[in-house]
Amino acid sequence: MAVVLEKGEAHEAGFETSLAMRQITLNVNSALDGVGLTAGVAACLAEAGIPCNMVAAYHHVHIFVPAGLADRALQLLISLQGDSARAMRNVDGQ
């Protein structure tokens, strides 16, 4: 079972809350049996030394990163998005 709670709710329920996390949501339609999306995102963040926990669904991918690293993680993901868009244009010949 996985539970995603606000920090106050988690604390009240007796869960460990010492590591504050921030949520970044990718609004993508990803196939539940698809390969590579979460791996690519996790690898990008890992290369920068940013740990992450991924929750993948059909219309969204939620990425949880330590709160102090959230701004840097978002910058990296925006850059990755731009790189992916450029790569797709090159594949399509545009």
**Residues 2-60: pLDDT tens digits?**
788 888 999 999 998 888 899 999 887 767 677 788 888 999 999 999 999 999 877 88
* pTM, to two decimals: 0.79
What confidence score (pLDDT) does residue 34 get?
Answer: 72
What confidence score (pLDDT) does residue 74 get?
Answer: 95
Q: Report the distance separating Cα 36 and Cα 7, nearest Å.
A: 30
Indicate the SS3 state at residue 53: strand
52-79: buried (b, 16+ CB within 10 Å) or exposed (e) per residue? beeebeeeebebbbeeebbeebeebbee
In the predicted structure, residue 94 carries a pLDDT above the cut 60: no
Residue 51, C-beta contacts closer than 8 angstroms, at least 6 positions apart: 45, 65, 66
Residue given tokens 């010949």 in the structure block: 93
